[in-house]
Structure 1
């Protein structure tokens, strides 16, 4: 993919892979790239409110990157490329305030593993991005840094909990970033803003240096970007054990060239309902369109049902499990704090009744049934196509939705994403359609455990036939 900078294709809308190549070959300097993104932040952040802190040394680091190019030093795959980081992820000597006045002024003494690896690859930390209080909700709003807006329509949400990250990338403030995902939080925001994101197999990318830790068996950290090749590159940099996160034990080597997945006759199933809750017809049509596109490419594609999803509604299972553990983390964080320092989501969490031990154990067994159900599915198929969200990006503050004739609360937006957190399966969110209101509609590409190369290959195929993946918000 050739990269060319022009008035219609400016620096700030290039992907990270293209920028890295241009910096390496001296078509553009790292300083020029950094200044373009800083200028973009100056221009758009007052209205979008995606960025909460700019790294003080960003320009200085870009100058050092250019000096390394001039010296002929060995360069990393992301050399000189800016990246942004969700503000729940620790960054050395840069504020990490977790969307709460309780952590105002907090400066970590070391980087999270994921941040350190991006830097080791040559990336330059540009800024921290907004999130909901304690990284917990489907909107990115808090008492400390306010509400983030969707650059496609400022009256709508860019999602949560990595909504600041998604809004920054979609609007050209950043080419690449790190988000976290407990139930929806890199895939939902990507879907709402028209970018791409990867939630890898649980444990593939260490969670070291990220808060909250509980419930760590469901938490993930992953890349958010504007191209599938950037997800490939970032994942190859981020994955692997760090000796600190006990869930991060896989030594499976990731092949950024996709490897043997290209040479196999892949079988794809697609599923909209039942199992995920109600889905808007526009979203359902987009999933079906992606399935049709793959079939036209010569792959075996057919509609499927997964009985385990129909027996145990994953969202209900998740709600019975995570409250018990997360509530204690919230209780400790808010101890002896004034009511004016705690926002609505922490208050809601603290007010929820404890799950009974019987319900907790039943829910744990349901997770095992879901894992078994997916294991059976992936004996027959290589990939599953689903919605990411049941609707396109919604207006701020909406707590109830009528979707395909059924009224549900806002948690139902997680219906198709949370099964992957419960089971640890990998999934990619990518745009493949547009709503009647001109908003992005995305699909979710799901693979078996450790099968990131397969779903990245599938996403590359769909990107190659998509007419919407490189669209940007109206200036």
Structure 2
């Protein structure tokens, strides 16, 4: 059973279609893995065994004509994405026991494709942290090391997938929230161009600056699985003004290799660990072996992009939440209070400052895209460090102290740019923790980022944490 749940989503679907296993068989295997590991990992916000079994039995009785491309695949959904009938509380006591009546668009597409929804997964309160913990469900742990976090804000999702408790799932990302957890737990993920996978139904809505920063993205153990999820779930939502009317494109191998890849090991300001540098170099070497042109290149705009991200995510994020949390500070999780403390260290934004920042974002995006004409694909780190211990906030690298938000600045650039970015596991730290690399492309060229990342994944690939394999 353990071997089955650690197979790729693509392989699980092949076995279902060949009738080597039934949906009930596959569901029971995942139930066993969840019952064995979730009490230690605490990845789920809502999971009910009989609900899963009822779904599975119904799916096994469906006619072949009624079976979609994900028929019977056990998946999970981050508890900030509306899933009818499941708790979607955004990790907050303010939303305790809230169950949406309607699915987010992407969840409706999951169901239409035949996916079996196991449950919803834990996240930090209001999604504003790179560590998953809250007063409602508690701390989620990393299956590679129980003292460490699986990241945030899609930390429950990454822990569930890495540990074989879910075949694939959905997270969301406004500052690295599907990419940092993938890096921390050794899986793959995509932050798509906003709107390529519809965001309508995310809690809270991705509006204002978050319509550029934020996106719902697939997470899985292999790039082939992430590609499958993207192909199945992408497509315009005509009620979403951020959702473009683009059809899926399948770039050929020659087309992918015609694009020059620029790689860099750091941004020149914040150091990364030696193993992180090694992972980027190893990914670059693997791509060269496959015929890609990979050359050193670093956009000149990275620090400006990061500063604007901080303006919108931290300062505007705090402004958006202020009406909801006013007078309720005693009910807030320490991790969300930490976020508010970071925001309060900056003066409140004036209307003029916000207007200027919004205009600067468009100008800066244009400048970055001009620089990316020569290198339309970028290869770089995901973070300065691998998964950190719960509550850890400072690290010493090459004699320099690296602070909390600076350690994950590498993901923030691409949120401000509104560009697709993929994470693939490549290396290991001295402690044996996973280290991923990040591959980004120009906006709306998600298929390019996915195709290049698949070549990297083929050279390295997923390894299961020991606890996921053990009996």
TM-score normalised according to structure 2 size: 0.93
Q: Give unpaired runs (5+ residues) of structure 2.
A: none
- Matching residue within 214, 223, 232 for 2:218: 223
What pairs with 1:184-333 in structure 2 (closer than 5 Å)?
A: 184-213=176-205, 214=207, 215-248=210-243, 250-255=244-249, 257-259=250-252, 262=255, 264-274=257-267, 277-310=270-303, 312=304, 314-333=305-324
In the other structure, the counterpart of 1:4 is none
Shift in CA distance, 80/401, structure 1 to aligned 2, threshold 3 Å: same
The separation in 2 between residues aligned to 1:277 and 1:98, in whole angstroms, is: 31
In the other structure, the counterpart of 1:75 is 67
In the other structure, the counterpart of 1:61 is 55
The separation in 2 between residues aligned to 1:461 and 1:350, in whole angstroms, is: 41
Contact 1:320 1:359 survives alignment (8 Å): no
Contact 1:261 1:453 survives alignment (8 Å): no
Higher deviation after alignment, 349-358 or 205-214: 349-358
1:17 aligns with 2:10: yes
Shift in CA distance, 99/295, structure 1 to aligned 2, threshold 3 Å: same
Alignment deviations for residues 114-155 of structure 1 (CA, whole Å, 9 cap, x no partner)? 111111111011011110001110000000000001000001
Higher deviation after alignment, 211-220 or 350-359: 350-359
- Matching residue within 426, 441, 446 for 1:432: 426
In the other structure, the counterpart of 1:129 is 121
The separation in 1 between residues aligned to 2:269 and 2:26, in whole angstroms, is: 42
Contact 1:323 1:355 survives alignment (8 Å): no
1:26 aligns with 2:26: no
1:108 aligns with 2:103: no
In the other structure, the counterpart of 1:416 is 410
The separation in 1 between residues aligned to 2:26 and 2:84, in whole angstroms, is: 23
The separation in 1 between residues aligned to 2:80 and 2:57, in whole angstroms, is: 28
Shift in CA distance, 177/40, structure 1 to aligned 2, threshold 3 Å: same
Shift in CA distance, 18/199, structure 1 to aligned 2, threshold 3 Å: same
The separation in 1 between residues aligned to 2:332 and 2:298, in whole angstroms, is: 42
What pairs with 1:335-354 in structure 2 (closer than 5 Å)?
A: 335-337=326-328, 339-351=329-341, 352=344, 353-354=347-348
Secondary structure of the corresponding residue to residue 392 of structure 2 = coil
Secondary structure of the corresponding residue to residue 241 of structure 1 = coil
Compute the RMSD of aligned alpha carbons.
Answer: 1.9
Shift in CA distance, 292/259, structure 1 to aligned 2, threshold 3 Å: closer
1:446 aligns with 2:440: yes
